[in-house]
């Protein structure tokens, strides 16, 4: 049982984690305290008395980061979704299947560039010689600049397409009153975002069509994005291929299914639950005309 007091509880959890065969703590500092574990640079910042920082990375996450750092490292921050208004920073790389795999986490109450430099430095201390080729961030300067200070200076920078398009959509709704025009412009903006060939990108056409109807948005777009096409255009995004062949991927899938089967084989309740899920899945396909009707299995095989 951990103490009810959050601060004491966090200390207890950190101490327990540090006793594991692999110590996952990158950095740990409480408010009104000096840094307990990791680089002590936070202690010399103007925010040292009020700052909180906790960074952690499991052994598996370390190995995944080292083996995939030549691809792209995504840095995503979740803003103030808890009672303390702290931030959660997740570092993610694509795995062998092209899916996102978290490789480190930081919790802090400041996102200024100096605080982020201190946190990223704790990662560099943990993994000596780590080389990162490219990072993808939200549309803020602090994250990239801080990471580039620690791991740079020649790291390639990309913006998260989803967040870029969300920013465009918000500006459209606030600057363009005609709903039909908003729909038309969103379609065109999505086309611009997803252009894959250098010669195909042409903002002038978009400007000529929409400037008279929505000059405020066009001015915003020109000011904030036209001179940064290399950061958000799809044609600049790296291409990833699975390290596994199709045959190897299928083999991995079969092994996972076989493991699941043996887990539920001796558990009647789990078996019935799995059987019901498969039946519901079959019914859903049948309704769409995907499969031919068959008799429902009622007896356990």
Q: How far is CA 229 from the centre of its chain?
A: 21
Cα distance between residue 107 and residue 109, in whole Å: 7
263 falls in which pLDDT band (50, 70, 90)? low
Segment among 99-103, 143-147, 249-253, 294-298 with least mean pLDDT: 294-298
Considering only residues 172 and 238, tell me which one the structure prediction assigns the higher pLDDT: 172
Q: Is the pTM of this model over 0.85?
A: no
- Choose between 211 and 291: higher pLDDT: 211
DSSP conformation letters of the chain = ---SSHHHHHHHHHHHHHTSSS--EEEEE-TTS-EEES--GGGGSTTTTT--EEEE--HHHHHHHHHHTTS-EEEEEE---STT--EEEEEEEE-TTS-EEEEEEEEES--SHHHHHHHHHHHHHHSTT----EEEE-S-HHHHHHHHHHH-SS-EEEE-HHHHHHHHHHHHHHH---HHHHHHHHHHHHHHHH--SGGG--HHHHHHHHTTT-HHHHHHHHHHTGGGHHHH-GGGSPP---SS-HHHHHHHHHHHHHHHHHHHHT-HHHHHHHHHHHHHHHHHHHHTT-S---PPP-S--
Structure-token match 């769409």, residue found:
288
Question: Would the pLDDT of 180 be above 60?
Answer: yes
Strand partners, 107: 54, 88
The per-residue pLDDT for 48 is 95
* 124 vs 222: CA distance, rounded Å: 37
Taking alpha carbons only, the member of 104, 94, 90 closest to residue 133 is 94
Stretch 275-298: mean pLDDT? 62
* Per-residue confidence (pLDDT) for residue 244, from 0 to 100: 46
- Decide if pLDDT at 37 tops 50: yes
> Please, are residues 108 and 52 in contact by the beta-carbon 8 Å criterion?
yes
116 or 133, higher pLDDT: 116
Round to whole Å and give the CA distance between 55 and 102. Answer: 13
User: Where do the domains of the chain lie?
Assistant: 6-158, 161-236, 246-296
């Amino acid at each position: 049982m951990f103490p009810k007091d959050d601060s004491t509880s966090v200390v207890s959890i950190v101490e327990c984690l540090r006793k594991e065969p692999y110590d996952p703590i990158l950095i740990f500092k409480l408010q009104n305290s000096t840094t307990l574990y990791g680089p002590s640079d936070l202690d010399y910042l103007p925010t040292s008395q009020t700052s909180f920082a906790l960074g952690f990375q499991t052994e598996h996450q370390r190995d995944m980061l080292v083996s995939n750092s030549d691809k792209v490292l995504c840095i995503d921050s979740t803003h103030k979704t808890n009672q303390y208004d702290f931030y959660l920073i997740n570092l993610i790389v694509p795995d062998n299947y092209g899916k996102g795999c978290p490789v480190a986490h930081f919790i802090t109450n400041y996102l200024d560039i100096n605080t982020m430099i201190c946190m990223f430095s704790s990662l560099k201390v943990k993994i000596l010689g780590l080389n990162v080729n490219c990072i993808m961030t939200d549309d803020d300067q602090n994250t990239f600049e801080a990471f580039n200070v620690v791991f740079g200076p020649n790291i390639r920078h990309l913006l998260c397409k989803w967040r870029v398009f969300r920013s465009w959509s918000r500006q459209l709704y606030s600057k363009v009153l005609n709903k039909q025009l908003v729909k038309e412009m969103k379609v065109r903006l999505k086309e611009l975002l997803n252009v894959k060939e250098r010669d195909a990108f042409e903002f002038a056409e978009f400007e000529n069509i929409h400037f008279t109807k929505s000059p405020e948005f066009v001015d915003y777009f020109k000011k904030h994005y036209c001179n940064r096409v290399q950061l958000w255009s799809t044609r600049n995004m790296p291409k990833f291929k699975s390290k596994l062949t199709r045959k190897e991927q299928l083999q991995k899938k079969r092994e996972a299914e076989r493991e699941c089967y043996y887990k539920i084989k001796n558990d009647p309740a789990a078996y019935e639950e799995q059987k019901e899920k498969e039946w519901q899945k079959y019914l859903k396909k049948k309704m769409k005309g995907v499969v031919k009707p068959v008799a429902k299995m009622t007896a356990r095989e």
